[in-house]
Amino acid sequence: MSGLIQLLAPLAGYVLPLEEVPDPVFAQGLAGDGVAIDPTGEVLFAPGAGEVLLMPAGRHALTLRLAGAEVLMHVGIDTVQLGDRGFELLVQDGAKVLPGTPLLKFSLDVIARGARSAVTPVLLSPTCGASITRRITGRVLVPGDLLMEAVAQSRTAPGAGTTSSGAQLQQTFVAAFSHGLHARPAALIAAALQPLNAEVTLSVSGRTANARSTVALMALGVRQGDVVTVAAAGADAAAVMVALRALMPVAEKPVVPVASAPQAAKPSSSGAPQVLPGVIAAPGFAVGVAVILAGADREVPAHGADAQTERTALQQALERVRTALRQRQSAATGTAREILDTHAVLSEDPELLQRAQQAIGEGYGAAFSYRRASRSLAAQLTLLEDPRLRERAADLRDLERQVLAVLAGEDPHSVPALPEGAIVVADEILPSQLLNLQAGKLAGLVMCAGGPTSHVAILAAARGVPALVAMGEAVLQISSGAALVLDADAGQLLVNPDVPALSAARSRLQARAARADQDTAQAQGPAVTRDGTGVAVLCNLGGIEEVAAALAAGAEGCGLLRTEFLFLDRREPPGEEEQTAVYRAVLAGLNGRPLTIRTLDAGGDKPIAYLPLPAEANPALGLRGLRTSLWRPDLFQVQLRAMLRAAQHGPCRILLPMVTEPNDLQQARAALLRARQELGPGPLPQVGVMVETPSCALLAEALSGSVDFLSIGTNDLAQYTLAMDRLHPALAGRLDALHPAVLRLIRMTTTAAHRQQREVAVCGALASDALAVPLLLGLGVRELSCVPAMIPRIKALVRGVTIAECESLANAALALDGAPQVRALARDWQSQRGLFAEVA
């Protein structure tokens, strides 16, 4: 069944596309699809014939239920904080109205003084089964003008078709959202449930609503601090509880099974072997035993002593946490220090403290108030499009865990003692917990949640600890002490392996260790193929403190200095003097070896707080890399001047990221010449471009004539070639730069560059991938810039091959259909030559 629905303009004003609404919940369509009106009038009219549903949370929003659709009209942004001030309802709940019936009067003056914006979203509920086929935007309308057309269809909402098969669970939460369950948090809950396969209801005070419906949740009238009960039935019932725990504090600890039902596959407590897939956060291989790490949630009383006592307790707890963080910062380096710095900054965040103090003033205890404030801010972060910012919510949860531990009279950094070969299993491992785990006994990490760009993932990779994330609820069923084989190179965990599998895994581990010792002993020598071709093996660096370890691993220089570490997690950009000093320090540490400095690669998955970018429907295709620098020439000019000044003290070259056409390069060169003129006479460093897009590879010959070298960023080149977000957990297993389409673009780039007598480097992940190195050599690459830990292995591989053999391998790979076939070919090829026998 389907039918056309015509919606009339309910307000006089200018109609905006939804993405221009100054609020991420509405702009991203989490509350529903539609348009927004910047009003010039002060009366809201019915856009069609239907039944009025009023919102108990306030008069600023109401819903009209039409035949086949529900229309939510939300007057203004953040108007819930006005309460009833400035609003006058003209209809009663349940009233039947005709098109054009006046529903609500409001004061634009009150909204302008007390709310963020008067822009009014007009939305179709995502659960009503109607889809918009036409919308009018970019013009002024008056009430009664056509606004939208939609088609009503009989369909099942996403995830709502689940019956009682699978788990049936129940959990109570505290609605800690400021001003209760209004549009923003209601939409956040509905969006979190959208991909999950379960029926979910939320109940309070005897009233129940479909938790997937923003309108239904708002209609419950849930107030801040109310205890709500969530019931979920279906295959993803447990995942529902995990998702909601990130948005609301748990009111009582256990998740209660409400009915017996067939369970999804999980590791058998009887010891039957099982393979569980995961997303690779840090590569590697480990054999060990499961150590279960308890989750961060703890039971805290809602109420405490008087407000002054609770405020004092919170201040003392925060000071103790800060003191512990400062002590650990003084001994930390690199990524660990950056994480501790982040936590120290968060511990002094005024908004976080203000929200906690406000809750204490409302009668809640210190621990409950701090948790509520932390979860509220974390929920806002999860609304953001950028994965890196969403994953900063984990840092808030980490700080919350530390503060609540102190309030409970415990050590904020206590972790369990580990046995030898411990593979830690958890819902989510927080950065401070990982920093405190005994490094010598920690063999690996596996997590139910988490992401590949989280602080824990970065920290694990820096420490050489293999880790898998986003494994789902099945990993939480692993028994303490169970034997595990963690293959974070292949993205899988073998639980309870049988005797032959365990023996094979241990043999493989021993072979890897023996090979690593041999490679390390020869790491300082040059990488020359058996037929005499030299290959430069350099390192990728993300800070000064990484230089010494890279040189110890055999790095012949730096092929990529990521300058983002100077710009991130601060309130203002680094000045010219600071940048110059850092670049000079890296040069000094390299002791005459070459340094390649990449200009700021901001945007996309590297946002910067003081560099607010315009709203973008797809940031990966917007202002990224060099585009951002050209958009902000003030920052670009400062960085170029610093690079030129540093280049006077050692071999230094400049690398430009995200170049897509010659015009990009021309603008960047003009900026570099201006910087040279400002500083006075002097030589210009070599300039190269990163090949990260198909357009750059296709134009490689034209670009090669205007640059000194090219460097291929295989991570982004694979993303843009295969049209897969490289930060999307569901696509992590399919996004592989060894895909023949990517390899063909690499071949195209090297062929074009060699015609112009320019060398091509690879600085992306493929340069650190042992299976990929012979292929890259066969495709014409003669410079590899790797993560320092892989340099000894990469050099050993180069010494074991001839260029002719590699060219034959590359030609065979280019004829294949997909990355799995290429990896199988490369694995067999290396195994036959005894190059990498421990690869499974």
Q: Which two tokens stand for residue 362?
A: 């409302």
Higher pLDDT, 285 or 219: 285
Name, in order, each residue with C-beta under 8 angstroms of 73's C-beta and a sequence gap of 6 or more. 10, 44, 47, 61, 62, 63, 64, 103, 120, 121, 122, 123
> pLDDT tens-digit profile of 661-719?
898 899 999 999 999 999 988 889 999 999 999 999 999 999 998 999 999 999 889 88
pLDDT of 796 strictly over 80: yes
pLDDT of 568 strictly over 80: no
Going by C-alpha positions, the residue among 90, 91, 54, 101 that lies closest to residue 74 is: 54
HSE, CB side, 13 Å, CA atoms: give it for residue 617: 5
The pLDDT of residue 453 is 59
The pLDDT of residue 262 is 35
The pLDDT of residue 661 is 86
Q: What confidence tier does 756 reach under pLDDT thresholds 50, 70, 90? A: very high
Q: What confidence tier does 159 reach under pLDDT thresholds 50, 70, 90? A: very low
Whole-number average pLDDT of the chain = 83
Neighbours of 817 (CB within 10 A): 9
Show the DSSP H helices in 50-167 as ranges.
Answer: 108-114
The pLDDT of residue 543 is 84
CA–CA distance, 707 with 139 (Å, rounded to integer): 47
> pLDDT tens-digit profile of 45-100?
999 999 998 877 678 888 898 887 889 999 998 888 787 888 999 998 889 998 88
Q: Which two tokens stand for residue 292?
A: 């279960």
Q: Which of these is catalytic: 74, 343, 455, 739?
A: 455
Neighbours of 826 (CB within 10 A): 24
Q: What confidence tier does 371 reach under pLDDT thresholds 50, 70, 90? A: confident
pLDDT of 823 strictly over 60: yes
Q: Is residue 553 helix, strand or coil? A: coil
The pLDDT of residue 650 is 93
455 is catalytic: yes
The pLDDT of residue 75 is 93
pLDDT above 70 as % of the chain: 85
The pLDDT of residue 271 is 60
Write the burial class of residue 788 (CB in 10 Å: 0-12 exposed, 13-18 middle, 19+ buried): buried
- Which bin fits 277, alpha (ψ -120 to 50), beta or left (φ > 0)? beta
* Most confident stretch, 332-346, 420-434, 469-483, 754-768: 754-768
From residue 16, alpha-carbon distances to 25, 136, 183, 244 in Å are 15, 9, 19, 32
The pLDDT of residue 733 is 54
pLDDT of 265 strictly over 50: no
pLDDT of 263 strictly over 80: no
pLDDT above 90 as % of the chain: 33
The pLDDT of residue 546 is 87
The pLDDT of residue 331 is 64
Query: Taking the C-alpha atoms of 703, 706, 709 and 712 in order, what is their torsion angle to the nearest 10 degrees?
Result: -20
Provide the residue type at 514 as one letter.
Answer: A
Candidate from 205-209, 311-315, 531-535 with smallest mean pLDDT: 205-209
CA–CA distance, 228 with 250 (Å, rounded to integer): 10
Helix (H) or strand (E) holding 762: strand 759-762
Higher pLDDT, 515 or 560: 560
> pLDDT tens-digit profile of 444-486?
999 887 766 566 777 787 777 899 988 887 888 898 889 999 9
CA–CA distance, 523 with 92 (Å, rounded to integer): 79
Write the burial class of residue 289 (CB in 10 Å: 0-12 exposed, 13-18 middle, 19+ buried): middle
> pLDDT tens-digit profile of 376-396?
777 666 655 555 555 567 777
E strands, 18-129, in order = 33-39, 43-45, 50-54, 61-66, 69-74, 87-89, 96-97, 102-106, 120-124
> pLDDT tens-digit profile of 208-223?
888 888 777 877 888 8
Q: Which two tokens stand for residue 397?
A: 């949860």
Name, in order, each residue with C-beta under 8 angstroms of 481's C-beta and a sequence gap of 6 or more. 289, 290
Q: What confidence tier does 286 reach under pLDDT thresholds 50, 70, 90? A: very high
Q: Which of these is catalytic: 128, 448, 763, 786?
A: 763
- Exposure b/e, 742-781, CB count within 10 A at least 16 = b: bbebbbbbbebbeeeebbbbbbbbbbbbbbbbbbbbbbbb
pLDDT of 837 strictly over 70: no
pLDDT of 786 strictly over 70: yes
Domains in the chain, CATH or no CATH each: 2-153 (2.70.70.10), 167-259 (3.30.1340.10), 274-293+415-496 (3.50.30.10), 307-407 (1.10.274.10), 529-606+622-832 (3.20.20.60)
User: What does residue 233 show for φ and ψ, rounded to 5 degrees?
Assistant: -135, 130
Q: What confidence tier does 268 reach under pLDDT thresholds 50, 70, 90? A: very low
* Partners of 291 in beta bridges: 424
The pLDDT of residue 813 is 95
pLDDT of 292 strictly over 90: no
Hey, CA dihedral for 505, 728, 745, 819, is it positive or negative? Answer: positive
The pLDDT of residue 815 is 94
In the block, residue with structure tokens 């673009």: 745
pLDDT, mean of residues 254-281: 58
CA–CA distance, 784 with 558 (Å, rounded to integer): 10
The pLDDT of residue 1 is 40
**Integer-rounded Cα radius of gyration of the chain:** 29
